[in-house]
Amino acid sequence: MRHHKQLLSSSVSTNRRPTILYLVCAVSIFSLLLFAIQSSFFSGSFGSDRDAETIRILSQFQSTVQQCVANRGLGLTAHIIDHCKLILKYPEGTNSTWYNAQFKKFEPLEYNYDMCETILLWEQYRNMTTVLTREYLDARPDGWLDYAPQRIAQLGTKKCYNKTLCEEHLNILLPAKPPFRPRQFRTCAVVGNSGDLLKTEFGEEIDSHDAVFRDNEAPVNEKYAKYVGLKRDFRLVVRGAARNMVPILNGSDTEVLIIKSVTHREINAVIKTIPNPVYLFQGIVLRRGAKGTGMKSIELALSMCDIVDIYGFTVDPGYTEWTRYFSAPRKGHNPLQGRAYYQLLECLGVLRIHSPMRSARKEDWSDVPSREMISQAHAAALHLKKSQAGDLGQFGNCKVWGNVDPNKSGPISGSPDMSDVRKFSKYSKWEVMPFSSLRKEAQDHYMQMQGVTLYKMDGNKLDDLVCVRHSLKSEV
């Protein structure tokens, strides 16, 4: 009934509509104007609100990192300078045993870090490819002319004017596209060579990982099984060790070798006799001080694993000599510096440290920041950087773009005369692995990245990337 009345009354007032309409229009225009003014005010202050929020997130994250270092650092302490900068200090009275003869001083007891830069750097590795591929050389400006020859020793030339000649040297370890992908494995163990490993029996724990990464000539056999395990998936080797590959491999035909530096005729001759897949590490820092194989193994592992557990890295604060689990001590380098940096990385969620000092622990990572917190801090660090250096999108660091012709799958690595030695091996397993057999997380990541593969260009910074676009159709 009431309904009807209302309808009636509205129909009665029809003759007054024009005036009301004008009024309504005027009011709406006025309120729209008011709203526009207000919201422009709002967005003005919104920017600085966002900046304040960024600083707040980072400062909170710094406190979490500080607490984490206090809990896990075996005496190390974190001193916060601002929302990005912090200092890690060893306790007073720590003996610095490593003497730098060149600068005539002992290793310092405190280290400055930029947490924001560090988190940007290492989170980026999770999305990177760290194996040298043909698509990278093709995409990189002067990749074949300037860069390829730097990865080949004994060629007797600084440039590859004759590309065929360079290809002959590289094809043997050059896959067309990345054989390994981000998120390919859930858990990975990176095993260093420290003598510390003999103080614990991490063998079984190491073997329970989805993939195990080892360094150089580390032996894997019954003698050391209970300390370092028997599983072998990846081995990062420097050029010197690469010459002794056959005894290093000792009968394992599936362990993937990643050569850290350069290839040359001798190594290539050996590669032809073994069934194992062999590749070159991509992110090498050319003609600069080596940063130790350990760091590179972590980069390699992080480019394909969700969780990276490290064993046998020298993290013992009472450290006095550079020990190895399988041979006499050698001359080492910067133990305190390395130890502090690994601790920072653990508290940034990059890796998890396992050492004799913690062997009695129960696996408790609750004081390490969560993935959610780390992504938040990462987004904040990125925002901070953006406002300093213009806009950066998802591919904001891509300086060079390449495209892969979806019609051509490209050759897998190897040379024609290797067909015999590789006939019965799983050599090409990784290179021809169908997309559908990848772990779901790796597939999801690939889709989120729109089929783009990221490579580092040069140096230690990850600001300049080479990005190669693949057709999503060719994979799925």
Q: What is the smallest separation between the CB atom of 476 and ligand NAG, expressed in angstroms?
A: 16
Task: Please name the residue that has the structure tokens 């290797």.
Answer: 418
Give the footprint of ligand NAG on this chain (CB under 6 A).
93, 95, 123-124, 127, 162, 164-165, 168, 219, 221-222, 250-251, 405, 407, 445, 448
Instruction: For the chain, give percent helix, strand, coil, nearest 5.
Output: 45, 15, 40
What CA–CA distance (Å, rounded) separates 202 from 191? 10
Q: What is the token pair recorded at 304?
A: 């394909």
- Rounded CA-CA distance 71/470 in Å is 45
Closer of 67 and 254 to ligand NAG (Cβ): 254
Cα–Cα–Cα angle for 452, 458, 461, nearest 5°? 85
- Which CB, 95 or 327, lies closer to ligand NAG? 95
Residue 184 near residue 439, CB atoms below 8 Å: yes
Whether residue 255 contacts residue 191, with contact meaning beta carbons closer than 8 Å, is answered with no
- The residue among 100 and 221 lying less far from ligand NAG, judged by its C-beta, is 221
The sign of the torsion formed by the CA atoms of 367, 460, 243, 271 equals: positive
Residue 80 vs 109, nearer CB to ligand NAG: 109
Alpha-carbon 383 to chain mean position: 20
For ligand NAG, the closer of residues 39 and 250 by Cβ is 250
- In angstroms, give the least distance from the CB of 3 to ligand NAG: 53
Between 82 and 168, name the residue whose CB sits nearer to ligand NAG: 168
Q: Which is nearer to ligand NAG, 43 or 162 (by Cβ)?
A: 162
Question: Which residue in 185, 308, 258, 292 sits closest to 248, CA to CA?
Answer: 258
Instruction: Give the shortest CB-217-to-ligand NAG separation in angstroms.
Output: 10
* Shortest CB 318 distance to ligand NAG, Å: 7
Residue 262: burial class (beta carbons within 10 Å; 0-12, 13-18, 19+): buried
For the bound state, the minimum distance from the C-beta of residue 363 to ligand NAG, rounded and expressed in Å, comes to 26
Q: How far is the CB of 248 from ligand NAG (least distance, A)?
A: 9
Q: Which two tokens stand for residue 301?
A: 């592992």
Tokens read off for 336: 């305190």
Residues 173 and 280: beta-carbon distance below 8 Å: yes
DSSP one-letter code for 108? P
Q: Toward ligand NAG, which CB reaches closer, 128 or 284?
A: 128
Shortest reach from residue 432's CB to ligand NAG, in Å: 20
In the complex, least distance from residue 161 CB atom to ligand NAG, rounded to whole angstroms: 8
**Which residue type sits at 78?**
A
